[in-house]
Amino acid sequence: MQKGQQAILDRDSLSHDSSVAPELLAWYDRERRELPWRAASSVKQDPYKVWLSEIMLQQTTVKAVTPRYDTFLRRWPDVTSLARAELGEVLAAWAGLGYYARARNLHACARAVAGELGGAFPESEKDLRKLPGIGAYTAAAIAAIAFGKRATPVDGNIERVVARLFAVATPLPTAKPEIKALAERLTPAERAGDFAQGLMDLGATICTPRSPDCGHCPLGEGCRAEAEGLAEVLPYRATKIARPTRRGVAFVAVRADGAVLLRERPLKGLLGGMLETPSTPWEETAPSDIEDHAPVAAIWDKLPGLVEHTFTHFYLKLLVYRAEVSQGAMAVDAARPEQCRWLKRDELADAALPSVMRKVIAHALDARVKSVAKAKPGARAVARASA
């Protein structure tokens, strides 16, 4: 055992360590949230539903996931049906949830389970972690919730509850191993899944990031943060490094029939496999050779304003250029011409477009509508002739 881990276990234990699980489980039985992926207390959990929900909930809110989860489940009610789907279909259904590597791994994992494993998820954390997209947290959550194993998933809610319960003074993310060890210390041998979900619910409804409702907390009596007046400030967090800003140019080509030119991004990397309007690389400064990146030979109009989007590790600012092209226009993207396609306006809603690209297209189409509405009949004809 490492020195730091020994120090964690040697700290003065809560006098009611042994009562934390019973108290929390009793509260959970009374107050548990009704969520679409949770089975009733007397019904065995479906591993597929647990896995699907846990992948969707990573770095996303329950509010954002709930309608999308219902849509996924209606379309792909089991792992076999999801495995049969095309990746593009899954990416399109995922659009708007962000972190698109999750969707690619979701599809790859479904195919691995449906194929190599005969449709059955493994029960142990070790075997679950061998599957695409399943890390330490997700493996522990599936093992505990779906299979009743004594496992300890630690998400943001659990992290906050445990940090306050033990008044952990080490800032995050450095404190993560310490908090994990303390959570494991509390995890009961029986009902580990309910215990984990109880901690999640407690963090989501009572032990909230701001203004925790300590008076109604089932664990409040023995909470060190509450006793020391630290509940509202814990867990401490290290100062975040400022996100850099990247810049680029997006090209929106609109065909005479209203179709928009899109390009499929490489499978690996940011937004892998998703569709985009052809764009320059996203770098610290926008390129000076903008014309060389245009995907179609046309007259490109620079639109006023910028499209801005926030990714996890950087801010993105895009200039948008728009061109109206003829019905027979060909996509001549020198980089990946085979990845280009035209999508009609009514096909865009179901396309695998990430949020940033929907912003780009909306910006271009809104600008087009405004320019047409403001143009006088004679001026509009000249503009079309020049295009």
What is the distance between the alpha carbons of residues 55 and 52, in angstroms, rounded to a whole number? 5
Q: What distances in angstroms separate CA 186 from CA 85, 192, 230, one per listed residue?
A: 41, 10, 21
Between CA 355 and CA 346 the distance in angstroms is 17
Q: Are strands 315-325 and 245-255 parallel, antiparallel or unpaired?
A: parallel
User: How many angstroms separate the CA atoms of 46 and 285, rounded?
Assistant: 49
Q: At what angle do helices 176-186 and 17-31 cross, to 10 degrees?
A: 80
C-alpha atoms less than 13 angstroms from C-alpha of 224 in its C-beta half-sphere: 18
**What letter represents residue 222's amino acid?**
G
Element housing 197 (H / E): helix 192-205
Strand partners, 237: 172
Q: Is residue 123 annotated as part of the catalytic site, yes or no?
A: no
Q: Which residue among 23, 31, 54, 276 is the active-site one?
A: 54
Name which of 149, 172, 148, 147 is nearest 158 in CA terms. Answer: 172
CB 65 within 8 A of CB 85: no
Secondary structure of the chain: what % helix, strand, coil (to 5)? 45, 10, 40
161 close to 207: Cβ distance less than 8 angstroms = yes
Q: Could you tell me if 39 and 213 are in contact, meaning their C-beta atoms sit under 8 angstroms apart?
A: no
Residues acting as catalytic residues: 54
